[in-house]
Amino acid sequence: MPKVVIADDEPNILLSLEFLMKKEGYQVFIARDGLEAFELIQQEKPDLLLLDIMMPGLDGYELCRLVKSRDELKHAKVIFLSAKSKTVDKQKGYDAGADLYLPKPFSTRELVAKANELTAA
Amino acid sequence: MSSLTVLVCSLLYLCTLFLIAYWVEKRSRAGKSLVNSPYVYALSLAVYCSAWTFYGSVGRAASAGIEVMAIYIGPTLSAPLWWIVLRKIIRICKVQRITSIADFVSARYGKSRTLGVLATLICVGGLIPYISIQLKAVGDGFRLLSGQTISGGIGDQTLYITLMLVLFTILFGARKLEATERREGMIAAIVFESVVKLVAFLAVGIFVTFWLFDGPADIFGRVAAVPELQQRFVLRPGHTATDWFWYSLLSMLAIVLLPRQFQVAVVENVDEKHLDKAMWLLPLYLFLITLFVLPLAMGGQLLMSGLPAEADGYVVSVPLKFGQPGLALLAYLGGLSAATGMIIVETTALSLMLTNNVILPAFVGKANWQNRSGNSLSGVVINIRRVTILGLFLLSYLYYRTVGYQYPLVSVGLISFAAVAQFAPAVIGGIFWKRGTYTGALLGLIAGTAVWFYTLIVPTLVTAGLLPETLLTTGPWEMGWLKPQALFGLTTLDPLSQSVFWSLFFNIAAYFWGSLNYAQSTRDYNQAVLFVDIFRYARNYDSAIVWKGRALSKDLQSLLASFFGDEQAKRALQRYKQRNQLSENARYADPRVLTFVEKLLSGVVGTASARILVASIGQEEPIKVDEVIEILKTTQELKTVNKDLKRKSSDLEHLTQQLSEANERLRLADQQKDEFLSTVTHEVRTPITSIRAVSEILYDNPDLDDATRRQFLGTVIKETERLTRLINQVLDLERLESGRYKPELEPIRIGEVLDDAVESVSRLADEKAVQLTVTSLCRDALVQGDRDRLMQVLINLMANAIKFCDASVGKIHVETLCRDENVLVKVTDNGIGIDPIYHELIFDKFFQTQEHPAAASGTLVRTAAKPKGSGLGLAISRKIIELHRGTIHVDSQPGAGATFTIQLPLLTQS
C-alpha cells in the first residue's frame, strides 16, 4: 500500500485530499504545517507527498529540498498544490525538486491521475 | 657682558628669524600655509609696537608722565571702527589689487600718478627718521648691555645688524613678483618677534615690580612720597586732557595708515574674517605690553636716581644693575625684535611704494621698456624693489649716524605718526564720500604736509642748529603768530598737538574746498563709486567696465607676457575669457579684458603704472560720466535679473523635485495595488480550491454516506461564506482607503456603542465558553463618531480575542477609561499572545506570517490554531479609528495574552 503525506494549513482542503487519496488506496498521513510534515515523512518514508507551499514554520519549498537531500527519503514523489500560480513560483517548485506543480484550484481528477502515474513509475 | 657675546646673540637671533621665515615659506609652497589664522593676523598687527614702545614708552613715561599711554589707548578705542573702515579698505585693496597706502590714495583719485608720488614722498620723508631711530634703539641697547660706547665705521655693530636686516628684507620681503601675494615667511618672523618682545617686556616688568619692589602698590606708594616724581605721574590741570585727545587721535590714525600697518593689516590679510578676532586681540596685546610701562618708569626713576642712566634704557639697564645679565640680554633681544620687526615691514612697504608709484611709472611709459620681451621684466621689477630696499636702509642708517641719535625715541615716532595722519582725510573721505576729488586730495595732502613740516620738522632743524633760534622764540620776521610751535597763537596745546590740530585742520579744509570747487574727472568718479560702494560692486567688479577703447588682443597678451611669461599670460587670458564667455580669437580685446589686464598688472607695478601700461597699447576714448553710471546701473540690473533667474531656476528645480516625488509615490501606490491584487487573488483561491475539490468529490461519488455528504456540503457553505466576507471586506477597505467614505459623525456615548458590540459577540463567546466581562468607567463619555463603524471595530477586536482564546479557560475583559482629552477602550484577552515584532505588522493588509522571515524560524503568531480570517479585519479597524482621529495599538507578549487599545478624542462640550 503506497504511503502519502499531505501537508496543508487549510483544514477543508486536507479533508478533501484525505478522502480522495484514501479512496485511491493510499495510506494517508496528514500534517498541518511543514515541521509536522517533516517528522511524519522521516517516520513513514512515504512514496508520495502532496504539499502546500505557504505553511507556517517550514514552507513547502524548504520541505521539498530537505526531503530530496536525504538519501532515505528522496525516492518520494512530490506534488505541490499551491495558490501561488505565477511562473516564477512554479519554477521555484521544480527547482526545489518537485515532480509536479498544480496551482489551486486544481482538478481532483487530474491530481489523482497524476499521483497514480507518479507512484506507479 | 662682552660686546662680542652680545653681537653673537643678536646675529643668532636674526638667524632664527631667517630659519622661521624659510621654513614657513617652504611649508607654504608645499600647500601647508601656517599664517591663515586670526591669531597670526592679530600678532602681526602687533608690529605696531616698535622699539619705541619697548624702550621709548618707558622713557617718555619717566620724563613726561602718563600721557604716552594715549598711544595705546587710541588704537584700543578705535578697534571697533575697524569693522567699518579697515574691512572696507581690505575689500577695496583685494578687488583692485592695491599694495600700499600710497597706491590706495593714487587709485582712489583716478589712479593719479602725481598723488602716488606725493604720498610716497610723504611716507618716505616721514618714516626714514622713524626707521633710523629703530636702529638707534638697537645701538643704544647694544651699548647699554655691552657697556661699550658705539664706535663708528666698520666697527659699528649696528651696521652688521642692519646688513642682516637688509638681507632678510630682500629675501623675504621682495621675493615674489606680485606685490599682492602674501609674504608668509616675513609674517611668520614678525609674529615670532611679537611674541619675543611681549615675553621680554613682561619678564622685565615682573622682575622690577615684584623682585625689586613689593608689587605695584609699593612702587606707587614710594613715588607718591617724592613730590617732584608724584607731580609727573598725575594728570595736571591745564592742557593735558586735550593733549590726550590729540595723541589718541594720532595713534588711531597711525594704526591704520602707517605703511607697515597697512602692509600687515591690508596687503597681508588672508581673510577679512580675521579682523573680527584682531579687533579684541590687538587691544589685549597692547594692554599686556603697556601693563608694566608705568611701574618700570617709576621704578627706574626711584632706583636709578643719581645715576646717569637714560630712561629710554631702563628696560636693559635696571636688570643689569641688579645682577641679572640674562634678563638684560632677554630685554635687549626683545628690543631688537621690536626694532627689526618694524624695520623689516616698514622698508618692505616703502620699497613697494617707491617702486610702484615713483620709479616704475617713470619707466613704463618709455618705448624701449615695452619693447623688451620675454620674462625679463619681472626680474627687473624685483631687482628695482631690492635696490630700493637697500637704498632705504642706507638712508636710514646715514640719518641715524648723522642726525637721529640726538633725539629721544618717542618724539621722532610721533613726528612720523603726524606725517601719515595726513592721509586720513583723503583715505577716509575717499571710501565714504563720492564727491571727494583728486584736486581736493592733492590740495589737502600738500597743505597738511606743509603745516606738518613747518610745525614739527622746522623746530628739529633749529635744534640741530641749521636754522636760527629766533624762529622758535619770536617767529619768522618777528611775526609771533607764525611761531612753528604756537601757530596762530595757539599756545594752549603742546607743540605736537597743535601741529596735529593745524595740519589736519588745513588738510581737511583744503580737501573739502578742492573737492567742492573743482570738477571730478570721469576716471576719478568711476573709482569713487567703486570705492564707496565696494560692497555692492565687489562681486561683479570685472563687468563694471572702466575702459572704453580698443586694443589689439595680441598687444595685450604680449604686455602681460613681459611680466608673467608667455605661458602664464596666455593661460590667465584664456581662463578669464572662458569664465566671461568672451570670444577667444577676437582681434580687438573686449573692454573687460583690458580692465582685467590692468588689474593683474597693478598687482605687480602698482595702479598708476598699470594704467599707463594699458593706456599705451589701447587707444582710449574719453568716457562720459553718464556712460559710467549706465554701465554700473546695467551691472546692477543684470545682477537683479540674474537673481530673478536664479530664483526661478531654483523654483523649477523645486517643482521638478516635487514632480519626481509625486511620480515615486504613484509608482509605489501602483506597486502596492499590484501586491494587493495578487494577495486578494491568492486569498480568493483558497476557499475556491476547497469548494471545487469538495464539489468534484460530491459529483464523482454519488454513493457517499449521508454524514460525509453533509460534512462536505457544510464545507461548501462555510467556504462560500468566507469568500463573501472576503469580498465585502476588500470592498470595504477599498472604500475607506480611497477616501470616498466619509464617516457620518454624530456625538455618541462610547458606553452605548460598547454595550451593543458586546451584545452581538456574546453568542460567539458563549459558544466557545469564553468569559467576557466589561468595566465601563467612562461610559458616558461623548465622542464624535460613526456609530456603525465604531461598533464594527469593537466587534472585530472582541471577535479576534475570542478566536485566539482557548475554549473554556478563555477570559476577555473590556474596559473604558477617560484620560485627559481622550477616551480609551481596552480589549484584553488571555490567549496565545503576539510577538512584539508583529505588533505593527498585524495592522497591515493580509499580513502573512509565512512570508515573514521571523515566521520561517517557527515563531508562533496567532496562526497556531489557524482560525484564519480574511487578514483585513485589523487593517479596516485601524483605518476607521484613524478617520476618527484616534489611534489603535496592541500590547502583548507571546503566551501572555494581548491588549488592544483604542484611543479616541473626547468631544469637548462647548
Q: pLDDT digits over A109-120, tens only?
A: 999 999 999 998
User: Using alpha carbons only, what angle is made at residue B556 by residues B554 and B562, rounded to the nearest 5 degrees?
Assistant: 100
Return the domain boundaries, chain A: 3-120
Q: How many CB atoms lie within 10 A of CB B876?
A: 23
**Partner residues linked to B700 by β-bridges:** none
Q: Which residue of A has its CA nearest to B681?
A: A83
Local structure of B870: helix, strand or coil: coil
In the structure, what pLDDT confidence band is assigned to residue B199 with cuts at 50, 70 and 90?
A: very high
| DSSP letter string, B145-197 | HHT-----GGG-HHHHHHHHHHHHHHHHHS-SS-TTS--HHHHHHHHHHHHHH
From chain A, pick out residues whose CB is under 8 angstroms from the CB of B850.
Answer: 54-56, 59
Residue B621's pLDDT is: 54
Local structure of B732: helix, strand or coil: helix
Long-range contacts of the stretch B209-218 (C-beta < 8 A, 24+): B209/B292, B209/B295, B209/B296, B209/B299, B211/B322, B212/B299, B212/B303, B212/B318, B212/B322, B213/B295, B213/B299, B216/B295
The answer, yes or no, to whether the previous bond of B227 is cis (omega within 30 of 0) is no
Whether B691 shows a pLDDT value over 80: the answer reads yes
Whether B623 shows a pLDDT value over 60: the answer reads no
Residue B398's pLDDT is: 85
Residue B460's pLDDT is: 79
Whether B505 shows a pLDDT value over 50: the answer reads yes
In the structure, what pLDDT confidence band is assigned to residue B445 with cuts at 50, 70 and 90?
A: very high
Q: Which residue of A has its CA nearest to B715?
A: A12
User: What's at A8, amino acid-wise?
Assistant: D
- Quick one: average pLDDT of B586-608? 74
In the structure, what pLDDT confidence band is assigned to residue B620 with cuts at 50, 70 and 90?
A: low
Residue B693 Cα, gap to closest chain A Cα (Å): 6
Q: What percent of chain B has pLDDT over 90?
A: 11
Superfamily of domain A3-120: Response regulator (3.40.50.2300)
Residue B619's pLDDT is: 60
Residue B849's pLDDT is: 45
From chain A, pick out residues whose CB is under 8 angstroms from the CB of B708.
Answer: 19
Residue B73's pLDDT is: 84
A17 interfaces chain B, CB cutoff of 8 Å: yes
Least confident segment among A3-7, B334-338, B360-364, B836-840: B360-364
Judge residue B818's burial from the number of C-beta atoms within 10 Å of its C-beta, 0-12 exposed, 13-18 middle, 19 or more buried.
middle
Residue with the bigger pLDDT between B34 and B104: it is: B104
A43 interfaces chain B, CB cutoff of 8 Å: no
Residue B546's pLDDT is: 56
In the structure, what pLDDT confidence band is assigned to residue B179 with cuts at 50, 70 and 90?
A: low
Residue range B315-336, pLDDT digits in tens: 888 888 888 888 888 888 898 8
Residue A95's pLDDT is: 92
Q: Do A20 and B693 touch (CB under 8 A)?
A: yes
Whether B865 shows a pLDDT value over 50: the answer reads no
From chain B, pick out residues whose CB is under 8 angstroms from the CB of A32.
Answer: 866
Q: Kindly report the average pLDDT of chain B as a whole number.
A: 81
In the structure, what pLDDT confidence band is assigned to residue B629 with cuts at 50, 70 and 90?
A: low
Residue B787 Cα, gap to closest chain A Cα (Å): 35
- Quick one: average pLDDT of B264-286? 87
Taking CB atoms and an 8 Å cut-off, how many pairs form between chains A and B? 82
Q: Do B711 and A15 touch (CB under 8 A)?
A: yes
User: Using alpha carbons only, what angle is made at residue B213 by residues B209 and B218, rounded to the nearest 5 degrees?
Assistant: 95
Cell numbers that stand for B553 in this block: 588682443
- Quick one: average pLDDT of B257-278? 87
Residue B627's pLDDT is: 56
Q: Which residue of B has its CA nearest to A56?
A: B850
Residue B538's pLDDT is: 53
* Contact present, B48 and B78 (Cβ < 8 Å): no
Residue B671's pLDDT is: 83
Q: Do A108 and B686 touch (CB under 8 A)?
A: no
Residue B858's pLDDT is: 35
Residue A22's pLDDT is: 93
Residue B155's pLDDT is: 54
Whether B236 shows a pLDDT value over 70: the answer reads no
Q: Do A83 and B690 touch (CB under 8 A)?
A: no
Range with top average pLDDT, A27-36, B633-642, B727-736: A27-36
Report, in angstroms and rounded to the nearest whole number, the Rg of chain A calculated over CA atoms.
Answer: 13
Residue B866's pLDDT is: 39
Reported pTM: 0.58
Nearest to B765 by CA among B793, B797, B728: B797
Continuous H helices in B821-908: 853-856, 873-883
Q: Do A83 and B689 touch (CB under 8 A)?
A: yes
Q: Kindly report the average pLDDT of chain A as a whole number.
A: 91
Residue B863's pLDDT is: 41
Interacting residues of B711 by C-beta distance below 8 A, sequence separation 6+: A15
Residue with the bigger pLDDT between B61 and B464: it is: B61
For B29-43, b/e burial (b = at least 16 CB within 10 A) is eeeeebbeebebbbb
Looking only at the bridges linking them, the beta strands covering B898-905 and B887-892 are antiparallel
Which domains, from first to last, does chain B contain? 3-410 (1.20.1730.10), 539-622 (no CATH), 636-738 (1.10.287.130), 746-905 (3.30.565.10)
Interacting residues of B25 by C-beta distance below 8 A, sequence separation 6+: B172, B175, B184, B185
**Farthest-apart Cα atoms in chain B, separation:** 156
- Quick one: average pLDDT of B347-368? 79
Local structure of B350: helix, strand or coil: helix
Residue B313's pLDDT is: 82
From chain A, pick out residues whose CB is under 8 angstroms from the CB of B719.
Answer: 12
Residue range B804-853, pLDDT digits in tens: 888 888 899 999 988 888 899 999 998 888 888 888 888 877 764 444 43
